[in-house]
Amino acid sequence: MNSTYTIAKGQRDFPALVKRAEKGELAVVTRHDKPVAYVISAERMEAMLETMELLANPEFARALQAERSGKAQPVYTLDAIPD
């Protein structure tokens, strides 16, 4: 659930804004009805950064594209898994 705060409301309600972010909610901070900032949890930000790093890796991008197209080769076969 996204919540929108003006800068003044965000300043006044900052502790509540942070608590919402900790619960996984996205808070949008606006100035003159235009978004100027987002408040998100550290966990969500770290996940976004990790995703961006993976997508920037050409080898990963090729593997993802192969997987999505159904052309990916399995890394291990079932026979390779020890009993």
Domains in the chain and their CATH numbers? 2-40 (3.40.1620), 43-72 (no CATH)
E strand or H helix at 17: helix 14-22
Q: How confident is the model at residue 80 (pLDDT cuts 50, 70, 90)?
A: confident
pLDDT in tens, 28-76: 999 999 999 999 999 999 999 999 998 899 988 888 888 888 887 767 6
Q: What one-letter code names the amino acid at 8? A: A
The pTM for the full model equals 0.65
Check pLDDT > 70 for residue 1.
no
